[in-house]
Amino acid sequence: MTTTNVYAPPRAVVGDVAVAGVAGTPADRGTRLAASILDGIIFMGMVYLPFIIAALASPGAEDETGSQFVVIVAGAITVVGLIAWCWLTFLYVQRNGQTIAKKLLTIKVVRSDGSPASLGRIFWLRNVVNGLASVIPLYGLIDVLFIFGESRQCLHDKIADTIVVKA
């Protein structure tokens, strides 16, 4: 005798809201990690490396005037590298929700519904708010560990209502 138990809890298949209806395939965790590491390397290459090269390439400054000149030249080159990095990052994020490394690895940031993420949302919610929250001990670790959830969203993605998809 097979009868339905009227007291049993209801059963339904519930899809993940963050991934449902997205116009794109979510980027895999390894690609996101590689993009983060590559962004750091690109930043160091464009900002710190020119400073180090300028300092090492300068002639041995034995007097105070020579060392001041080296610091001024290295500082100027560093500022130029920083401006170039900021300009490229701003350009790519505004155009398609990508950093330099995300563009190279063909992934991008979009809203969780698949619509384009605005520059303000990416800058303020994903970066500034997340940066301010980083003063909380272990926040950075917790933020990163959220990527192992089914939706593949870090905590900063949840704050900004964004996801990272294949471009």
Write out the residue range of the structural domain in which residue 158 sits. Answer: 29-166
d(CA 107, CA 101): 9
Residue 144, in any domain of the structure: yes
The Cα–Cα gap between 47 and 62 comes to: 26
User: How many independent structural domains does the chain possess?
Assistant: 1
* 16 within a domain of the structure (yes/no): no
pLDDT, average across residues 3-14: 80
**Whether the Cβ atoms of residue 59 and residue 66 lie closer than 8 Å to each other:** yes
Does some domain include residue 110? Answer: yes
Q: What is the pLDDT of residues 69-85, one digit of tens each?
A: 878 888 898 999 999 99
Q: Is residue 40 part of a domain?
A: yes
Model confidence pLDDT, tens digit, residues 83-142? 999 999 999 999 999 999 999 999 999 999 999 999 999 999 999 999 999 999 999 999
Query: Is residue 2, in this structure, part of any structural domain at all?
Result: no
Higher pLDDT, 129 or 2: 129
Question: Looking at the domain assignment, is residue 21 inside a domain?
Answer: no
Q: What does pTM read for this prediction?
A: 0.79
